[in-house]
Structure 1
């Protein structure tokens, strides 16, 4: 009969598609991992992986077996959590994925608080784009993600934890600088600095723009960055403006806060949520994470007020 360890090996090979990377992930030698997977195939009487392809891919029956293996290991982990709850202990390992437009502003607020309250939680943080994060949740290389919603992703469950308004950071040379608030109809992609493709906040910025020209789009977006801080510097150096989430404002120096402008009318917001795979086991750790995050945020951000959540998909 095969063991939990063998199940972990086939999941690792399915995740990485490479025997060397899978063995490194499992902290065993490549021959050991290969031998144990081969042994499992012999016991089952089926071939789980097509080794002739690079990367290695699972066979049709292999995909079914691996899916069941993930379920078995999830249920095993739930047993451990059940014991911890009974003993009133909050401990364990948590792999957290978080998108780049959130991580620099949210992580510093709660990481130390989480560590001080729950020193027996070991948290591993992975910064990644939304699509990468969703894939990692499905493959269960992540336990939980923090991302912008709503999203259309099968088998992924989301729960909003806070809302933040979207504002503008404007060059002093731009006409918007003299406005108290900026009309949403005036937003023009020709003058706006945006994140590169793949970032949900870029899509939200585009969705808010009423005026865009293909020629300007091609010119402006030839500059690619993954950093909102870089966009702010580009505004300072080159003019124009960029959209920023509310949390970014805390990182702007007091003498430049006057360059922050709000959008006229109902608030344009982004919804930030916890995301988990449908079968996830570490419910108590995720609950503790959510509670800690909410405890360090202003009450005004915790519930959706009047305004509109800007979609990005």
Structure 2
């Protein structure tokens, strides 16, 4: 039995197709199939039921895949131990970031990180929270940045910062003249949100449900971008909520339409997320320290109420 054979098994278990798994492993399909067959012969069992389309795991195969994931992860720790001992921070490192965080946070830390750790080949992917969780569990991401808590047993979370929700209220709205607002000040039957699938949208829905002001049927789902929501609000179609960091880049005219909530301000918790196996933890810590260093000066809010990003049923 070899680590390579287990790696091939995991690839087939994920893709449910020998050809696709071989492509992902950068080997020929006959080579991959032969190695898996050798492992099955050695163990005297079938890991995959090849009679089904797509290919599925046998009952014993499901148990083997769980153990194989653990073994492959632990094998990866050996390289980590050596690199940490040598003080080496480098190599390929894949990071997933949700769409409502990437445009504002990335420009704040990326240049600093690249300069400080030039040997790290940082690969950044914009992904939804659902995609991030799946890729972290399958080993296709080393860590991610997303709104938390996610309550995933196999993942760890390190809080980076708390980002308040800020209301964008056009000058024709009744609450425009208020210095601070409450949830009840918004037009909750005409609030403009991101499309379904964005956790920031789910956070706003949870915020309003927590205060028992509204149900799902009152919301308009309008766009995939904050810029479009702002334009729609300016056209008199409602109000919207923005993450605090996004408001820093607004023009001066639009900034006059921003209103903060009364304390405790509703906010989202933004964290680094990574598997409990803690592979490449030295790079994860380097990324955390870099982001914390630049964000600390931008967000100074203390009295906040964390709103869950998980959709409520």
Question: Which residue of structure 2 lines up, in the alignment, with residue 260 of structure 1?
Answer: 258
How far apart, in 1, do the equivalents of 2:267 and 2:108 lie? 20
Q: What are the residue-to-residue correspondences of 1:179-258 with 2, within 5 Å?
A: 179-209=178-208, 210=211, 211-212=213-214, 216-217=218-219, 220-221=220-221, 223=222, 225-258=223-256
SS at match of 1:23: helix
Q: CA deviation at 1:52?
A: 3.1
Question: Which residue does the alignment assign to 2:99?
Answer: 100
Secondary structure of the corresponding residue to residue 81 of structure 1: helix
Indicate the residue corresponding to 1:69 in structure 2. 68
Please say if residues 190 and 213 of structure 1, whose CA atoms lie closer than 8 Å, have aligned partners that are also in contact: no
Supply the RMSD in Å over aligned alpha carbons.
2.0
Deviation sequence 1:162-201 (CA, Å, 0-9, x none)? 1111101122222222222222222343121111222221
Preserved CA contact (<8 Å) 1:156 1:277: yes
Give the conservation status (yes or no) of the 8 Å contact 1:95–1:123.
yes
Task: Name 1:115's counterpart in structure 2.
Answer: 114
Deviation, 1:31, is 2.4
Q: 1:298 aligns with which of 292, 296, 299?
A: 296
Number of the residue aligned with 1:282: 280
What is the TM-score of this pair, normalised by structure 1? 0.91
Classify the secondary structure of the residue corresponding to 1:145.
strand
For residues 92 and 48 of structure 1, the distance between their equivalents in structure 2, rounded to whole angstroms, comes to 33
The aligned counterpart of 1:125 is 124
Please say if residues 264 and 303 of structure 2, whose CA atoms lie closer than 8 Å, have aligned partners that are also in contact.
yes
Contact 1:169 1:242 in 2 (8 A): yes
The 4+ residue runs of structure 1 with deviation greater than 4 A are none
Partner Cα distance (1:277, 1:182) in 2:
39
Instruction: Name the SS for the 1:251 alignment partner.
Output: coil
> How far is the alpha carbon of 1:215 from its aligned partner?
5.2
* Structure 2 residues without counterparts, runs of 5 or longer: none
Query: Are the structure 2 counterparts of residues 68 and 288 from structure 1 closer, same or farther at C-alpha, using a change threshold of 3 Å?
Result: same
Tell me how many residue pairs correspond in the alignment: 307
Q: Matches of 1:164 and 1:50 in 2, distance apart?
A: 48
Cα deviation digits, residues 235-259 of structure 1 (max 9, x gap): 2334311111111012212221111
Check the 8 A contact 1:100/1:227 in 2, yes or no: no
- Contact residue 149 and residue 273 of structure 1 kept, 8 A: yes
For 1:62 and 1:280, locate their aligned partners in 2 and report how far apart those are by CA, in whole Å: 26
CA distance in 1, matches of 2:32, 2:203: 44
Unmatched 5+ residue regions in structure 1? none
**Match in the other structure for 2:304:** 307
Task: Give the Cα separation in 2 of the matches to 1:307 and 1:297.
Answer: 16
User: TM-score, structure 2 length as denominator?
Assistant: 0.91
Mean Cα displacement is larger for which, 191-200 or 159-168? 191-200
Q: Do the aligned partners of residues 20 and 205 (structure 1) sit closer, same or farther apart at CA in structure 2, a change above 3 Å counting?
A: same
**CA deviation digits over 1:106-155, x for unaligned, max 9?**
11211222111111111222222212211221122211111111222222
Shift of 1:300: 6.2
Q: Distance in 2 between matches of 1:61 and 1:182?
A: 58
Distance 2:181 2:75 in 1: 54
CA distance in 1, matches of 2:234, 2:30: 56
Q: 2:274 aligned with 1:272, yes or no?
A: no
